[in-house]
């Protein structure tokens, strides 16, 4: 997500901070968190577990939620997930 107009489009409705947690806890908490959100809303997930880089896209494709953007800030990965 480097293009500035795409950044503006990434309006988040909620943030889940999973920094410091290791596999499988970021995914487990993510699955819990999306139950609180409505269809079409965007969740920002922050994680620093290196496994999350592959796990979050895999989780999204498996559950039918859309990964609309990712960002890397130092050691922190940011995922933007649109709820199905």
Partner 1 sequence: MTDKMCMVVSEGTFDKAYMPLIMGTTAASMGTEVHVFYTFFGTGLLKKTAKPKLPGIYRLFTGMFQKKMKAVGIPSHDEMMKQAMDMGVTFYACTTTMGLMGIKESDLKPGVKVLGAASFLKLANESKTTLFIG
Give the interface with partner 1 as residue ranges (CB under 8 A): 18, 20-25, 27-28, 30-31, 49, 59, 62-63
Q: To the nearest whole angstrom, how small is the minimum distance from the Cβ of residue 64 to partner 1?
A: 8
Phi, psi of 2 (to 5 degrees): -105, -25
Q: To the nearest whole angstrom, how small is the minimum distance from the Cβ of residue 80 to partner 1?
A: 18
Toward partner 1, which CB reaches closer, 63 or 66? 63
- Positions marked catalytic: 23
Judge contact between 34 and 81, C-beta under 8 A.
Answer: yes
Question: How far apart are alpha carbons 31 and 73 in whole angstroms?
Answer: 23
């Amino acid at each position: 997500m480097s293009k500035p107009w795409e950044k503006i489009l990434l309006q988040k409705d909620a943030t889940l901070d999973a920094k410091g947690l290791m596999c499988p806890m970021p995914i487990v908490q993510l699955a819990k968190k999306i139950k609180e959100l409505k269809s079409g809303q965007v969740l920002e997930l922050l994680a620093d577990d290196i496994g999350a880089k592959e796990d979050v896209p895999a989780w999204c494709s498996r559950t039918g939620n859309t990964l609309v953007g990712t960002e890397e800030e130092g050691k922190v990965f940011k995922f933007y997930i649109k709820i199905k």
